[in-house]
């Protein structure tokens, strides 16, 4: 990657036009929308709302179905372009296995990321919070999938949960990275003037992003870096400038995804954030990311 920055799955990633805009941007990579077996329209509108401290959303996995993204991956110029990540979030384990087998049969050099953490599907629990079920899913995947892959994780809040999750993930050698974090699920934003919720799905409950989640995202990055030796951690959550990107890398992140800020600002955010990161590094006397990656001090 020429830059540590790229999009969070869910932003600038649903259509070929979105993905091509990402490919042409200064991001270091691109990732698709989490795909399901069949196309989905997602949850009813309004399902995304900007707040002074970030955003709340309940998108419900709107996507064009895995075949759409498989077709894009087959046409992608891997030799001359940035890494392509494919996010997968089937509605069942059987769906996930079908999708992953389709990519496995093509032997494409894209990198699969299995989403264990979608909080915005009514009636569907997050697999990342059911660790025995997550382990079973990873076991079934690794029965046939023989290439490196990653997982997108929900936020964890208890130290014991970091330990338990890491114990599961460390059992799988081909699980090479984790992305921390997906949105903090089931927040509620209220419009005082209207005396109403601000999004329609789930009676107003939705995933929080932006400033709301930065401390939680940083904690998850640092704690999984500590617990997953030999694996990479991708930071995601609350990145709107070079300072937050610096924080994620200082906590140990190999790369950093941008979500709410990218949604609001567009792909120009990558140029701005990258320059701010370079300026901050220069002010501190750092020439490369490895000079400070994972070197967060404690008191």
What residues act catalytically? Answer: 118
Give the residue among 72, 17, 25, 94 at the shortest CA–CA distance from 7: 25
Q: What token pair was written down for 128?
A: 């990342």
C-beta of residue 205 within 8 angstroms of C-beta of residue 169: no
- Residue 254: which residues within 8 A CB-CB, separation 6 or more? 4, 177, 232, 233, 234, 293
């Amino acid at each position: 990657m020429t830059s540590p920055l790229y999009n969070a799955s869910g932003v600038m990633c649903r259509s070929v036009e979105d993905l091509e805009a990402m490919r042409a941007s200064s991001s270091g990579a691109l990732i698709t929308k989490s795909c399901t077996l069949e196309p989905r329209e997602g949850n009813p509108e309004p399902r995304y709302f900007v707040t002074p401290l970030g955003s709340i959303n309940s998108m419900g996995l709107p996507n064009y179905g895995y075949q759409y993204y498989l077709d894009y991956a087959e046409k992608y110029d891997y030799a001359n372009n940035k890494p392509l990540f494919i996010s997968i979030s089937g509605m069942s384990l059987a769906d996930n296995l079908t999708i992953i087998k389709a990519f496995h049969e093509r032997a494409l050099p894209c990198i699969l990321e299995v989403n264990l953490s979608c909080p915005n599907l009514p009636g569907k629990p997050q697999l990342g919070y059911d660790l025995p079920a997550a382990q079973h899913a990873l076991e079934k995947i690794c029965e046939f999938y023989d290439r490196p892959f990653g997982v997108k994780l929900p936020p964890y809040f208890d130290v014991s949960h970091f330990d338990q999750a890491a114990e599961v993930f460390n059992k799988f050698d081909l699980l090479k990275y984790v992305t921390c974090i997906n949105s903090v699920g089931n927040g509620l934003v209220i419009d005082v003037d209207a005396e109403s919720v601000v999004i329609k799905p789930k009676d107003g409950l939705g995933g929080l992003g932006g400033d709301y989640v930065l401390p939680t995202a940083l904690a998850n990055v640092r704690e999984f870096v500590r617990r997953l030796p030999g694996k990479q951690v991708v930071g995601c959550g609350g990145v709107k400038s070079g300072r937050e990107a610096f924080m994620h890398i200082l906590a140990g992140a190999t790369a950093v995804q941008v979500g709410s800020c990218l949604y609001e600002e567009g792909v120009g955010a990558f140029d701005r954030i990258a320059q701010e990161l370079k300026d901050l590094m220069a002010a501190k006397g750092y020439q490369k990311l490895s000079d400070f990656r994972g070197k967060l001090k404690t008191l």
